[in-house]
Structure 1
């Protein structure tokens, strides 16, 4: 049987179309010769998930996303994916979008549930969820920090503004003059310290002698303190109490008129007699002074004493 060129061209076209379909499906992750299970999940946002993204169970790749399309006019998205593994799981298992970092893209994970009699079949729609990725976690952690940094920047700006308002030209000049005065004061202290250093250096020997004398004085004070510690203060206190008692006894005797001194202080007659005796003694001494010859006489020729001079009556 002889084929015409048109038939051959048609057969080649059909084969090319079939190869193109199989190749396109293979590139999209679909193998038309395999009996894969097809599942669906509905999302409000697929977070960058794309066709041919891997589908995993417990981290193991079991399929891939085959199609993402709009479900309705509200913008809900339906994700279609296949599972080329015979692993059994419930139709209540969660289809969760996860991952997404600085380099890698999003993936779809099936979080399996094991419920007897409710196994997932091809064409079922699984519950959906989205796990926060690295960028979302970073943004979540950095947002409070960003707010704090912004507040700190605003506070710093306000503080700088307040400083600029307070530190006008006159205030700045005053602060500058104050630092200049402090510099002069420090320089003066430095000169004073150098002078004191010179004085100390020039009088080091005298200072050594002074400290030596102070050391000796301290030793003498220690010896004196030891001497005081050895004194019988109790005995001295007892003797002092006896002396005070004797003085008190004498004072009582004088006050009561006992003894000569007591009578002299309390008896007027004794005082008058003593006063008269004193006056007579004065007259006697005056008479001896005026007429010594009456009391002491010595003469070879027996000459009589001169005339008598009476003493002064004012002493009576």
Structure 2
């Protein structure tokens, strides 16, 4: 069957009109081929636009379909659609929030875990979450006063610093910086001197470090030898020796033995002192009268004459 040109033109025009209607509704944010559930909510003012997104936990699940003003209540009535797969309670909340600093807004579904499930055409309560821009606008007066106070403090600080820098007295900042510069130069010269000294005595310093290494090695060997010594046995022998010494000292204290009696018996000490004096006189007499003792075996006796004080001295 042959189709006439008129029918082809008519079909083409109708197709164009349908395509235009579809594109127009699509640009408005509507899709005539989808079957979405529509719900309603209200706000005190309008901060949305048609096709503003509807999200849940940050995920887009729908869009704003229609925004109308209710002349009786003075509120903005918003109709929005969501994917039919989404199920939420009728007690949930629709939150208006800012999506960015540039002022974009969207709706978020805050699900409730109680109550019956929402049905198409139900009214859902709403709330508004203050955004960054609105918070700044509300607090701008306070920020302005605080900023003014801060700027005044900064101006005072800069004025004081300027006066300190311009001060030419001995206590001024320039004098302080000059003295600090001189001190740094002195430290720099001292550093150069130390470097020259180290370079001049490099070999001596290396020799000293070598000796230190050798000393450390000898100390390590000595420590190892001390570890190998049976210190326990040595300490035990020393303890036995101290016990013996304590026993001897106790015996001396108790007048045991000759030394003990000599140390503690006054009579023995006096006898020894008397014998010592008589022995001293005998030796002195032998020194003064040697002939008397040469004739000791003879029958002639020579009477004893005590020495005078001059002879004793």
Give the TM-score of the pair, scaled to structure 1.
0.50
User: Cα distance, 1:137 vs. partner?
Assistant: 1.4
1:247 Cα offset (Å): 1.9
Quote the Cα distance in structure 2 between the aligned partners of 1:133 and 1:245: 95
* Structure 2 match to 1:137: 103
Equivalent residues of 1:57, 1:111 under 8 A apart: no
Secondary structure of residue in 2 paired with 1:257: coil
Shift of residue 214 of structure 1? 1.2
| 1:63-92 CA distance string (max 9 Å, x none) | xxxxxxxxxxxxxxxxxxxxxx9xxxxxx9
Which whole-Å CA distance do the structure 2 matches of 1:222 and 1:135 have between them?
72
Select which of 140, 157, 165 maps to 1:163: 157
Counterpart CA distance in 1 for 2:29 and 2:272 is 147
Mean Cα displacement is larger for which, 176-185 or 162-171?
162-171
* Alignment partners' CA distance in 2, 1:252 and 1:206: 60
CA–CA separation in structure 2 for the residues paired with 1:289 and 1:272:
26
Q: Distance in 2 between matches of 1:296 and 1:232?
A: 66
Query: Could you tell me which residue of structure 2 aligns to residue 254 of structure 1?
Result: 252
Shift of 1:292: 2.5
Q: Which has the larger radius of gyration?
A: 1
Q: Secondary structure of 1:228's partner?
A: helix
How far does residue 205 in structure 1 lie from its aligned partner after superposition?
Answer: 1.0
Q: Deviations over 1:169-192 (max 9, x none)?
A: 246532232222222222111111
**For the Cα contact (< 8 Å) 1:97–1:129, is it kept in 2?**
no
Cα–Cα, structure 1 residues 159 and 293, in superposed 2: closer, same or farther, change >3 Å? Answer: same
Q: How does 1:192-203 map to 2 (within 5 A)?
A: 192-203=190-201
Farther off after superposition, 272-281 or 202-211:
272-281
Structure 1: where are the runs of 5+ without partners? 1-54, 63-84, 86-91, 100-108, 113-126, 298-303
In the alignment, structure 1 residue 111 sits paired with structure 2 residue 65:
yes
Q: Quick one: distance in 1 between partners of 2:229 and 2:101?
A: 93
- C-alpha contact (below 8 Å) 2:261/2:268 kept by paired residues: yes
Matches within 5 A, 1:74-85: none
Shift of 1:240: 2.0
Match of 1:237 in 2: 235
- In the aligned structure 2, how far is the partner of 1:272 from the partner of 1:233? 48
Per the alignment, residue 89 of structure 1 pairs with: none
Other-structure match for 1:288: 286
CA contact (8 A) 1:257 1:266 kept: yes
SS of residue matched to 2:261: helix
Task: Say if 1:213 and 1:93 are closer, same or farther in 2 by CA, change over 3 A.
Answer: closer
Mapped to 1, the partners of 2:99 and 2:249 lie a distance apart of 113
